[in-house]
């Protein structure tokens, strides 16, 4: 049977729209689900997706991608990578799987919402493929770590994390619920595909795949690059939606969604990718600091796509760029210090050589974050491990759900950004987090942070053991120092003068 070439029918198909006769337009595409901001549907037909594909083409390519990823995995299953990999690399894998795998299912639901309620036919078409993509990502990233569960229970958190009240899982859920699971189709197009995917994950997955190849983890490298090729396609759903909104006088609403999306995505990147790049990745494999990565790929590239669309840079742009110098260092210190509360083993990454690298990439690191690590290092060397662990909870931001933290030592600039709303005081990590809350207080006001829950008596007994139980962290799952403190031993023979230098 002869099949028409795609170019012969695609434009007709993509402009084909429903003309409802039995129900009102507003019932078929309710504003709460569709979010078209009152732009008529005929105007949405101008939506022009840059990446055009048909279902048979999609299936053929996806089948090849899946076959390639699974065959690399099968071929390398017996290579004992896990036994030989640097502990920090294993931590990157565990943190990644737990934080991302089920988030892909949430993204699938979000794509499904665009598939059903997207006001433009081309958008619904692209989102259908996006939905299938995200399902594939969830399944791959649950299946790949599964083989390791029998030897290491922390890998079980690929599936378990989102079903727990572990604090980082709460932070991930809160962010993803806000950016895409609990949004209308157009907001999803902007906040998930444009802000989060174009702005962050597409680039991050490129980098992560390269890093995996660099450390010799070809299974993970091929998995991540397989996912990234989907991402680079469906991330393009948001751009044309923004163009339609801009053409119809909705720049402000469109921009606001972009700004909220970037701000929230940045926090998740700060806590996951920041420590991975600057502390967990073995020194010999580091190519770029997290800050350099953020400046080159996120600021450089993303700034251009904002400007190309005719959008203004966010009001907080300079402030966010300032945070590249310190926020992830603070998150790393927090994750390491509260390590029993995470499902991976954080690598401290502060051996003498690593600290030299940090000082070179972040001048002043020794005088700020280094001051805290000096105290920690001394305690480790004295065998006083208890003093390197917490006895209380950090205060958690009412937006990011991450600890409120900043620069310690001689650059001390930590502070609370409080807000009283309807008689309740909320605490934020920065003006940016507080601004997001203020855009829609009723959306956020009832959520309780881990600290709020603790104070409400929901965590029993009210101490660290109760908190670990509440977070569902069993022995063998709780994090500990990835290198069993070997990094501190290197300090024993180093003259104190060097540390001061």
Partner 1 sequence: MSMLPIISNFQGDFVLQLVAVDSENTMDQVAAAAAHHSVGRRVAPQPDKVIRVRRQDAQAFFPQDARIGDLGVQPMECLEFIFTDAA
**Residues in contact with 201: Cβ distance below 8 Å, sequence separation at least 6, in sequence order:** 231, 235
Stretch touching partner 1 by CB under 8 A, among 2-10, 193-201, 347-355, 369-377? 369-377
Tell me how far, at minimum, the Cβ of 102 lies from Fe ion, in Å.
Answer: 11
Q: Is 87 one of the binding residues for partner 1 (CB under 8 A)?
A: no
**Residues in contact with 249: Cβ distance below 8 Å, sequence separation at least 6, in sequence order:** none
Cα–Cα distance, 296 to 194 (Å, whole number):
18
Tell me how far, at minimum, the Cβ of 396 lies from partner 1, in Å.
Answer: 9
Task: Note whether 56 and 9 are within 8 A (CB).
Answer: no
Which of partner 1, Fe ion, none does residue 466 bind to, with CB < 5 to 8 Å depending on kind? none
Which of Fe ion, partner 1, none does residue 96 bind to, with CB < 5 to 8 Å depending on kind? none
Q: What is the DSSP letter of 403?
A: B
Tell me how far, at minimum, the Cβ of 479 lies from partner 1, in Å.
Answer: 17
Site for partner 1 in 452-471 (CB under 8 A): 454-455
Residue 242 vs 451, nearer CB to partner 1: 451
CA 209 to chain centre: 16
Which of partner 1, Fe ion, none does residue 113 bind to, with CB < 5 to 8 Å depending on kind? none
Tell me how far, at minimum, the Cβ of 490 lies from partner 1, in Å.
Answer: 20
Tell me how far, at minimum, the Cβ of 467 lies from partner 1, in Å.
Answer: 11
Which of Fe ion, partner 1, none does residue 272 bind to, with CB < 5 to 8 Å depending on kind? none
Residue 180 vs 326, nearer CB to partner 1: 326
Tell me how far, at minimum, the Cβ of 425 lies from partner 1, in Å.
Answer: 6
Tell me how far, at minimum, the Cβ of 113 lies from Fe ion, in Å.
Answer: 14
Q: Which of 334, 340, 349, 370 binds partner 1 (CB under 8 A)?
A: 334
Cα–Cα distance, 466 to 456 (Å, whole number):
13
For residue 419, which of 402, 394, 439, 405 has the smallest C-alpha distance?
Answer: 439
Which of partner 1, Fe ion, none does residue 98 bind to, with CB < 5 to 8 Å depending on kind? none
Counting every residue, how long is the chain? 501
Alpha carbon separation from 27 to 21, 112, 249, 473 (Å, rounded) = 11, 18, 24, 45
Tell me how far, at minimum, the Cβ of 440 lies from partner 1, in Å.
Answer: 23
Which of Fe ion, partner 1, none does residue 56 bind to, with CB < 5 to 8 Å depending on kind? none
Is the peptide bond preceding residue 120 cis, with omega within 30 degrees of 0?
no
Q: Which of 204, 209, 228, 388 binds partner 1 (CB under 8 A)?
A: 388
Cα–Cα distance, 259 to 246 (Å, whole number):
15
The Cα diameter of the chain in Å comes to: 83
Site for partner 1 in 422-451 (CB under 8 A): 425, 427, 451
Q: Is 374 one of the binding residues for partner 1 (CB under 8 A)?
A: yes
Q: Is 414 one of the binding residues for partner 1 (CB under 8 A)?
A: yes
Cα–Cα distance, 68 to 345 (Å, whole number):
30
What backbone phi and psi angles, to 5 degrees, belong to 419? -150, 130
**Residues in contact with 338: Cβ distance below 8 Å, sequence separation at least 6, in sequence order:** 390, 394, 403
**Residues in contact with 267: Cβ distance below 8 Å, sequence separation at least 6, in sequence order:** 171, 175, 400, 402, 429, 433
DSSP codes of every residue in 235-295: GGGHHHHHHHHHHTT-HHHHHHHHHHHHHHHHHHHHHHHHHIIIIIS-GGG--S-HHHHII
Q: Is 270 one of the binding residues for partner 1 (CB under 8 A)?
A: no
Q: Which of 404, 432, 436, 473 binds partner 1 (CB under 8 A)?
A: 404
Residue 260 vs 393, nearer CB to partner 1: 393
Residue 384 vs 439, nearer CB to partner 1: 384
Q: Which of 165, 248, 379, 472 binds partner 1 (CB under 8 A)?
A: 379
Tell me how far, at minimum, the Cβ of 123 lies from Fe ion, in Å.
Answer: 15
Q: Is 415 one of the binding residues for partner 1 (CB under 8 A)?
A: yes
Q: Which of 71, 79, 392, 460 binds partner 1 (CB under 8 A)?
A: 392
Cα dihedral 81, 86, 87, 89 in deg (nearest 10): -80
Cα–Cα distance, 167 to 401 (Å, whole number):
7
Stretch touching partner 1 by CB under 8 A, among 303-311, 315-323, 403-411, 484-492? 403-411
Which of Fe ion, partner 1, none does residue 438 bind to, with CB < 5 to 8 Å depending on kind? none
Residue 101 vs 397, nearer CB to Fe ion: 101
What is the SS3 assignment for 398? coil
Tell me how far, at minimum, the Cβ of 316 lies from Fe ion, in Å.
Answer: 25
Helix (H), strand (E), coil (C) string for 408-425:
CHHHCCCCCEEEEECCEE
Rounded to 10 deg, the angle between the 167-176 and 251-275 helix axes is: 160
Residue 50 vs 441, nearer CB to Fe ion: 50
232 burial via Cβ count (<10 Å: 0-12, 13-18, 19+): middle
Stretch touching partner 1 by CB under 8 A, among 252-260, 345-353, 412-420, 488-496? 412-420
Given the structure tokens 């003006």, which residue do they identify? 431
For the record, the structure tokens of 227 come out as: 């996912």
Residues that bind Fe ion (CB under 5 A): 104, 134, 137, 231
Tell me how far, at minimum, the Cβ of 369 lies from partner 1, in Å.
Answer: 7
Binding site for partner 1 (CB under 8 A): 330, 333-334, 337, 369, 371-372, 374-376, 379, 387-388, 390-395, 403-410, 412, 414-416, 418, 425, 427, 451, 454-455
């Amino acid at each position: 049977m002869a099949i028409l070439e795609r170019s012969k029918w695609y434009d007709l198909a993509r402009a084909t729209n429903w003309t409802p006769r039995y129900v009102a337009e507003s019932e078929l595409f309710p504003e709460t689900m569709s979010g078209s901001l009152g732009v008529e549907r005929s105007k949405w037909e101008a939506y022009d997706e840059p990446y055009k594909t048909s279902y048979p083409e999609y299936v053929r390519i996806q089948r090849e991608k899946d076959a390639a990823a699974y065959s690399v995995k099968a071929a390398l299953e017996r290579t004992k990578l896990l036994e030989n990999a640097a502990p920090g690399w294993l931590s990157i894998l565990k943190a990644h799987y737990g934080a991302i795998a089920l988030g892909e299912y949430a993204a699938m639901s979000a794509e499904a919402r665009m598939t059903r309620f997207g006001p433009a036919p081309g958008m619904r078409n692209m989102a259908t493929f996006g939905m299938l993509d995200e399902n594939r990502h969830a399944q791959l990233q649950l299946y790949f770590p599964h083989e390791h569960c029998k030897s290491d229970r922390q890998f079980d958190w690929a599936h378990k994390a989102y079903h727990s009240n572990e604090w980082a899982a709460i932070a991930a859920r809160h962010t993803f619920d806000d950016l895409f699971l609990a949004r209308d189709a157009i907001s999803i197009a902007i906040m998930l595909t444009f802000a989060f995917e174009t702005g962050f994950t597409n680039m991050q997955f490129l980098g992560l795949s390269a890093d995996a190849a660099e450390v010799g983890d070809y299974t993970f490298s091929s998995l991540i690059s397989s996912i990234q090729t989907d991402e680079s396609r469906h991330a393009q759903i948001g751009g044309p939606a923004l163009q339609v909104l801009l053409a119809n006088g909705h720049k402000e609403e469109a921009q606001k969604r972009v700004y909220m999306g970037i701000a929230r995505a940045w926090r998740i990147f700060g806590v996951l990718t920041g420590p991975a790049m600057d502390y967990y990745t073995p020194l010999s494999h580091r190519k770029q600091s997290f800050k350099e990565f953020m400046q080159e790929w996120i600021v450089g590239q993303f700034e251009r796509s904002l400007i190309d669309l005719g959008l203004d840079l966010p009001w907080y742009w300079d402030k966010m760029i300032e945070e590249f110098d310190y926020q992830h260092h603070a998150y790393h210190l927090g994750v390491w210090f509260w390590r029993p509360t995470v499902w991976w083993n954080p690598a401290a990454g502060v051996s003498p050589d690593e600290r030299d690298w940090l000082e070179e990439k972040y001048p002043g690191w020794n005088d700020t974050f280094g001051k805290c690590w000096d105290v920690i290092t001394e305690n480790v060397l004295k065998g006083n491990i208890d003093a390197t662990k917490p006895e209380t909870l950090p205060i958690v931001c009412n937006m990011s759900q991450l600890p409120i933290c900043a620069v310690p030592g001689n650059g001390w600039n930590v502070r609370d950004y409080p807000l009283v709303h309807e008689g309740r005081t909320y605490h934020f990590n920065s003006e940016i987090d507080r601004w997001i809350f203020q855009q829609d207080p009723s959306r956020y006001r009832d959520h309780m942070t881990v600290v709020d829950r603790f104070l409400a008596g929901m965590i029993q007994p009210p101490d660290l053991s109760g908190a670990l139980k509440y977070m569902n962290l069993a022995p063998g799952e709780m994090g500990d120092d990835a290198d069993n403190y070997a990094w501190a031993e290197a300090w024993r023979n180093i003259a104190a003068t060097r540390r001061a230098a």
